[in-house]
């Protein structure tokens, strides 16, 4: 069984788009599609503010991988990442 996919969501505590993306992401979760989400507050790290600032929310399927989406959840990209993780690729 491949390891569970762990998304990383770069966010801000006062950002309604960030909460919307997290809610939309969690709505895709099911027993058939398990995953975890690490929510990182960009304002806690000046390097993250410099990197993401006005792009938040930003979602990654792997911290060193490409960005899946920002501002609004790209459901197609998320489902493709989950499918790839289920296949072990």
Cα–Cα nearest to 38, from 5, 13, 8? 8
pLDDT in tens, 13-68: 999 999 999 999 999 999 988 999 999 999 999 999 999 999 999 999 987 889 99
Cα 4 to Cα 45, 66, 76: the distances in Å are: 27, 18, 18
CA–CA separation, 38 and 46 (whole Å): 18
pTM score: 0.92
The domains found in the chain, sorted by start residue, are 5-87 (3.40.30.10)
């Amino acid at each position: 069984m491949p390891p569970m996919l762990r998304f990383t969501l770069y966010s801000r505590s006062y950002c309604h788009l960030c909460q919307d993306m997290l809610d939309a992401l969690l709505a895709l979760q099911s027993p058939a599609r398990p995953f975890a989400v690490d929510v990182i507050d960009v304002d806690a790290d000046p390097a993250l503010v410099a990197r993401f600032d006005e792009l938040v929310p930003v979602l990654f399927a792997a911290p060193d991988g490409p960005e899946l989406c920002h501002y609004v959840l790209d459901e197609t990209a998320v489902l493709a990442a989950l499918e790839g993780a289920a296949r072990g690729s």
